[in-house]
Amino acid sequence: MITVKHYLGLLGFLFVAAWIAFDDFGDAVLCLVGAAVFYLIGEVVQGELDLGEMQARLTRSQTTRR
C-alpha cells in the first residue's frame, strides 16, 4: 500500500523531472533531491519527524563540541 510519504516522494520526483525534462546527469540527481524533500515533508506532516527535537539535538551537539 502506498503511504502519504511515498506519494509525496513520488510527487516531488515527478515535479522535478517535469521541470528539467530530459537534460543531463546533474538534473537526474536533482530529481532525487526533490523526492527526498517531499518525502521529508510527508514525515513532518504525519508527525514522524519532530523538527523541534532535531533542533535540540543539533544545539546539544554544538555546545558539547565547544
- Reference 31, options 20, 45, 44; nearest CA is 20
Q: What is the pLDDT of residues 11-61, one digit of tens each?
A: 888 877 877 776 666 776 777 788 888 888 888 888 888 888 888 988 887
Please report the pLDDT score of residue 25 as a whole number.
Answer: 63
Angle between helices 4-20 and 25-45 (to 10 degrees): 150
